Amino acid sequence: MDKTASEPLEHKRHTLAHLLAAAVLEMYPDALPTIGPAIDNGFYYDFEFPAGTNIAEGDLHVIEERMRKILPTWTKFTSRELSKDEAVSSFSSPNGSNKYKAELINEIISKNEKITFYKAGGFEDLCRGGHAENPAKDIKPDSFKLSRIAGAYWRGDEKNKMLTRIYGLAFDSGKELKEYEAMIKEAEKRDHRKLGKEMDIFEFNDDTGPGLPLWLPNGAIMIEELEKLAKETEFKAGYVRVRTPHIAKDSMYLKSGHLPYYEESMFPPMEYEGGKYYLKAMNCPHHHKIFAARARSYRDLPLRLAEYGTCYRHEKSGELFGLMRVRMLSMNDAHIYCAEEQFAGEFKAVNDMYLEYFKIFGIDKYVMRFSTHDPKRLGDKYVDEPELWKKTEDMVREVLVGAKIPFVEVPNEAAFYGPKIDVQVWSAIGREFTLATNQVDFAVPRRFGLNYTGKDGKEKTPLCIHRAPLGTHERFIGFLIEHYGGNFPLWLAPVQVKVIPVAEAHFAEAEKIHKALRGTFIRSEVDLSNDNFGKKVRTAKLSRAPYFIVIGDKDIEAGKVTLESRDGGKVGQMKLDEVLAIFREKIDDRK
Amino acid sequence: MDKTASEPLEHKRHTLAHLLAAAVLEMYPDALPTIGPAIDNGFYYDFEFPAGTNIAEGDLHVIEERMRKILPTWTKFTSRELSKDEAVSSFSSPNGSNKYKAELINEIISKNEKITFYKAGGFEDLCRGGHAENPAKDIKPDSFKLSRIAGAYWRGDEKNKMLTRIYGLAFDSGKELKEYEAMIKEAEKRDHRKLGKEMDIFEFNDDTGPGLPLWLPNGAIMIEELEKLAKETEFKAGYVRVRTPHIAKDSMYLKSGHLPYYEESMFPPMEYEGGKYYLKAMNCPHHHKIFAARARSYRDLPLRLAEYGTCYRHEKSGELFGLMRVRMLSMNDAHIYCAEEQFAGEFKAVNDMYLEYFKIFGIDKYVMRFSTHDPKRLGDKYVDEPELWKKTEDMVREVLVGAKIPFVEVPNEAAFYGPKIDVQVWSAIGREFTLATNQVDFAVPRRFGLNYTGKDGKEKTPLCIHRAPLGTHERFIGFLIEHYGGNFPLWLAPVQVKVIPVAEAHFAEAEKIHKALRGTFIRSEVDLSNDNFGKKVRTAKLSRAPYFIVIGDKDIEAGKVTLESRDGGKVGQMKLDEVLAIFREKIDDRK
């Protein structure tokens, strides 16, 4: 869902779904309308077309024109309440009744809700409402577009009949629609699956298993750089690191509650030594065990245990998508065990870390989705700690407001064991990604019997903050590929510099420079192929290396090299030491 | 086995096993002797004692004295050949026959071998020979010692009767025996399980599972430092890194041959999506898939794929031992794909890397155990590539001889797919560890259909070198704990420096210095407890931190600090910048 969509835009999109159905039924009177909601970039409507009627993408513009023809006649919506029989019969045609609408109507009846119909122009539909007040005036004819056709099972269940879904895009204005289309086109060019292949970043393989990426050398470099960033940042922030196995016995997951509550998201067990071992789906239970491995006192808190741990989760094979939906998750994980009075400070520090990362990666647009509890559901949906809920939610809110971090508060969507913050960011081309989730945990430390001796000598249970600002390598690198369009900054670029000799006479010098660069851990490549100079420059540019160094007669005479940048063109002729100084500074500062 | 034990020492140890049996039978005429071999530090003999006879460790010195009393009478061994019946009846006593010796005699008969008996003094035993020529002269009375008693099943099978095993230590001289005992005593003090707990390095837990270490913060620091060392060393040596999942489908392991040949060493499968997924027991198949993920030409070779990959292997729970025998193995792995003509150079480079590591860790004593094939077993025990076997074995031998690396050649112990080198090292206190295995692989690249286009345009199969100089984190850190006795060098020490204020007046300055140290990524701790100065110094020394810094009035007045070293005592008063420079140099050079 696009969290920034205004309520009225959702109404327009919903209205357009009605309009689509009206147009389709004018053109195909035997088609059966089913459901048609607003979605994050427009709307869709699912139809059963009579056997023999094939709708192709080429037909969409005709339907779209019909929608534009009807639109001026829709100046308002009226609604009325119907009885069940009236409602069902209103969808009957000479060919019989509409069993889809009948099913929906029966569901409404079974929930003791009212059956409402909404009508605009000559078209009436079963509907809960939420439309543009005056479609003819509110909806600009150039602000929408039918985009594609897809098959969709009735109610998403593959046991049901396959219906025909027609998708439309819709925005407040034609300009916004065009911008969105341009963004999608750019996103296709930057598709992380395409660039990931082209740039040798990752690969999938049937024998290793779907959803389990093999990180090729260039991807492994990015992983190493991200881990280096995380480790440095976390060292400075007083975290300590741990390493834990990728498996554990069922007894641990029974204690944590992953079994049975999270079992369907876990890989199936290995039957071993008369027991069951599971691949870990989260690192927390292992970290709790490390907390519990020593007697802890208030002096040890906050204890911040960090691990780039690899977890495994079941995802349906149909839902796997490049690096965005995978079965292996290398998480920038940490658990902060703290006393209640330390919570606000720790939570603020976590937020500061996010902001530091956003700055490094040039992420300008982000929002924290702050999910809170519902006091009425305490003891049922939420762990029964009314004061802790109130206190921590207040503290979270205070920190977010104080730091002027954009956030939306979503009541009644917290986790069972505490408030939750989902971090959403927008890539350079304006696409939204959910990168990470932070959670406050009142409940699990108690389940694990974690405690520390307080200043007063009494045993207390710590609070636990789960946090993962860089999310998983899989999703974050997927995001970064799109965000940078493959043009990674120097510190992150798999190949940082290409050394290009102008001719064969300069090969030896080029190789010497290449080796000097690598001697200071710069990821340099040298092009000693038979290609001519022009081709070598083109190859270097295509590789997306942030810099290339040219070596020719004049450079050798001057004891210098010529540095060119991917983003800024020629930097100039300079000594190799100067190049190294430029590189070192940019790399150290992650500019 | 102690590879340095001379043949005669093994003869003496074997002789002492006879002598032990002679002494026991003089003292306990109803005891049944079974078998008694030489072992790496001495010998043992297993007996069935009559019901009611309890031998305790306290009895050992009496038996030992009896051995010393008999020894001067043993001036030579004589041997004779017996028939089966003669042999069996020679072990009969008024209480019946010796069924253990009868079983051994039957086995010898079934193999069509001769039954030989060896006699010294008044004691004769079934034996294949191999004794000291003149025990009375060759064996020094102070060079052996009975060390302990243990239960041992007949032939190691728990279905059989439990016998009583008496162990003895034996060396060429009393001096060597004493040195060995001192080494064992020191090894107990340095026991990695004891120090690992004391120093918060690792921990095991029943819920996470036996044999699966949880690396505590101090252990994780050591892991990070070792990985940093490996990554830097491998970058300089032209390796590229990859990252691969911890699981794969059965189809991959069927291709690699791990299934079924290695199945019993693997964890059982997860039944998933109608197939089977296994935890990886080795990284090679994943790396082969990465080789295969792109078309390769001779220009891409050698391709050196490195990964600190975590593998999982089944070990019987009774055989788990601290970090030395575990079920999780974090391997310093790499696979080098090369053309035949590149093999010698690559193998030499691998060896050089070993030597570099030995230098860093102060490993002075090491030997490579070079296992070669047996030409008679080609096509049966060994892949049928006679020329490749000869060529690569010759090259390996040449490199080892050329680099003056101590090695022993062991015929007919190679792997199925190529020659193998086991690397054995001795810790600072003289204990032997097998750290790593290198293998040359002719066969598996072909099974995986790996190939590259040669200069001549033809498809060729690369050779593959499997190498892991730092072994696994588990075993290597276990080794390092003993090797350094917990007194790690600065670069590897979990806590590098402790900052100690002389009194409360110096707390603020101490904390400032502590923060400055951490700002340059030095692992510093500051002691702001209420303990007095003397106690703080003792605590710092006990912590095994390589340095501590004292801050008192005189230091603050002088704008300096006082640096003391764990190993060398007071270094002196100096500016913090000077301390940082000393630290930085030692850390960068890993001195």
> Which ipTM score applies to this complex?
0.89
Contact B235 A518 (CB under 8 A): yes
Q: How close, in Å, is residue B272 to chain A by CA atoms? A: 7
Q: B241, B234 in Cβ contact below 8 A?
A: yes
Per-residue burial over A443-468, b if 16 or more Cβ lie within 10 Å, else e, is bbbbbbebbbeeeeeeebbbbbbbbb
Residue A387 host element (H or E): helix A386-402
Closest A-chain CA to B520: A236
- Per-residue pLDDT of chain B in tens (591 residues, 90 and over written 9): 343 445 589 999 999 999 999 999 999 999 999 999 999 999 999 999 998 888 999 999 999 999 999 999 999 999 999 998 889 888 877 667 899 999 999 999 999 999 999 999 999 999 989 999 999 999 999 999 999 999 999 998 889 999 999 999 999 999 999 999 999 999 999 999 999 999 999 999 999 999 999 999 999 999 999 999 999 999 999 999 999 999 999 999 999 888 888 899 999 999 999 999 999 999 999 999 999 999 999 999 999 999 999 999 999 988 999 999 999 999 999 999 999 999 999 999 999 999 999 999 999 999 999 999 999 998 888 888 899 899 999 999 999 999 899 999 999 999 888 999 999 999 999 999 998 889 999 888 988 999 999 999 999 999 999 999 999 999 999 999 999 999 999 999 999 999 999 999 999 999 999 999 999 999 999 999 999 999 999 999 999 999 999 999 999 999 999 999 998 889 999 999 999 999 999 999 998
Best of A200, A207, A297, A477 to substitute, by most chain B Cβ atoms within 10 angstroms, is: A207
Question: In this complex, which of B269, B273, B289 lies closest to A207 when CB atoms are compared?
Answer: B289
Q: How many CB atoms lie within 10 A of CB A402?
A: 11
Sort A252 into a burial class: Cβ within 10 Å, 0-12 / 13-18 / 19+: buried
Residues in chain A: 591
β partners of residue A547: A497, A565
In the stretch 313-372 of chain A, residues with CB closer than 8 A to chain B read: 314, 317, 328, 330
CATH architecture, domain A7-176: 2-Layer Sandwich (3.30)
Query: Residue B70 is which amino acid?
Result: I
Q: How close, in Å, is residue B249 to chain A by CA atoms? A: 6
Query: Residue B501 is which amino acid?
Result: P
Interface size A-B, in CB pairs within 8 Å, comes to 168
Best of B200, B201, B202, B214 to substitute, by most chain A Cβ atoms within 10 angstroms, is: B214
Question: In this complex, which of B209, B217, B231 lies closest to A277 when CB atoms are compared?
Answer: B209
Question: In this complex, which of B214, B267, B289 lies closest to A214 when CB atoms are compared?
Answer: B289
Question: Distance between CA B394 and CA B401 in Å, rounded?
Answer: 10
H helix intervals, B237-263: 250-256, 258-261
Strand stretches in A254-359, DSSP E: 270-272, 275-279, 296-297, 303-312, 328-338
Taking contacts as CB-CB distances below 8 angstroms, the residues of chain B near A328 are 245-246
Taking contacts as CB-CB distances below 8 angstroms, the residues of chain B near A209 are 245, 247-249, 277
In the stretch 197-226 of chain A, residues with CB closer than 8 A to chain B read: 200, 203, 205-209, 212-217, 219-221, 223-224
> Where are the domain boundaries for CATH 3.30.930.10 in chain B?
193-247+281-484
Strand stretches in B192-327, DSSP E: 202-203, 214-215, 240-241, 247-249, 270-272, 275-279, 296-297, 303-312
User: Which CATH code for domain A497-589?
Assistant: 3.40.50.800
Q: B477, B523 in Cβ contact below 8 A?
A: no
Distances (CA, A) of A289 to A183, A246, B514: 46, 14, 30
Best of A197, A226, A243 to substitute, by most chain B Cβ atoms within 10 angstroms, is: A243
> Where are the domain boundaries for CATH 3.40.50.800 in chain A?
497-589
User: Which CATH code for domain B193-247+281-484?
Assistant: 3.30.930.10
Contact B279 A247 (CB under 8 A): yes
> Where are the domain boundaries for CATH 3.30.980.10 in chain B?
7-176
Question: Distance between CA B326 and CA B341 in Å, rounded?
Answer: 38
Contact B217 A241 (CB under 8 A): yes
Taking contacts as CB-CB distances below 8 angstroms, the residues of chain B near A515 are none
Contact B249 A312 (CB under 8 A): no
Query: In what order do the strands lie in the sheet containing A459-460?
Result: A296-297, A452-453, A459-460
Residue B136 host element (H or E): helix B135-138
Strand stretches in A88-143, DSSP E: 116-120, 123-126
Contact A249 B223 (CB under 8 A): no
Of the candidates B395, B372, B397, B368, which has an alpha carbon nearest to the alpha carbon of residue B382? B372
Query: Residue A356 is which amino acid?
Result: E
Question: Distance between CA B54 and CA B35 in Å, rounded?
Answer: 19
**Quick check: B573 contacting A, CB < 8 Å?**
no
Distances (CA, A) of A313 to A270, A317, A328, B278: 15, 12, 7, 15
Residues in chain B: 591
Question: Distance between CA B369 and CA B406 in Å, rounded?
Answer: 9
Half-sphere exposure of B479 (CA within 13 A, CB side): 23
Of the candidates A332, A315, A323, A319, which has an alpha carbon nearest to the alpha carbon of residue A482? A323
Q: Is A486 helix (H, G, I), strand (E, B) or coil?
A: coil
Question: In this complex, which of B268, B272, B293 lies closest to A203 when CB atoms are compared?
Answer: B293
Query: Residue A257 is which amino acid?
Result: G
Q: Which residue has the tokens 């108690």?
A: A446
Contact B268 A268 (CB under 8 A): no
Question: In this complex, which of A207, A240, A293 lies closest to B252 when CB atoms are compared?
Answer: A207
Taking contacts as CB-CB distances below 8 angstroms, the residues of chain B near A213 are 245
Of the candidates B566, B531, B532, which has an alpha carbon nearest to the alpha carbon of residue B548? B566
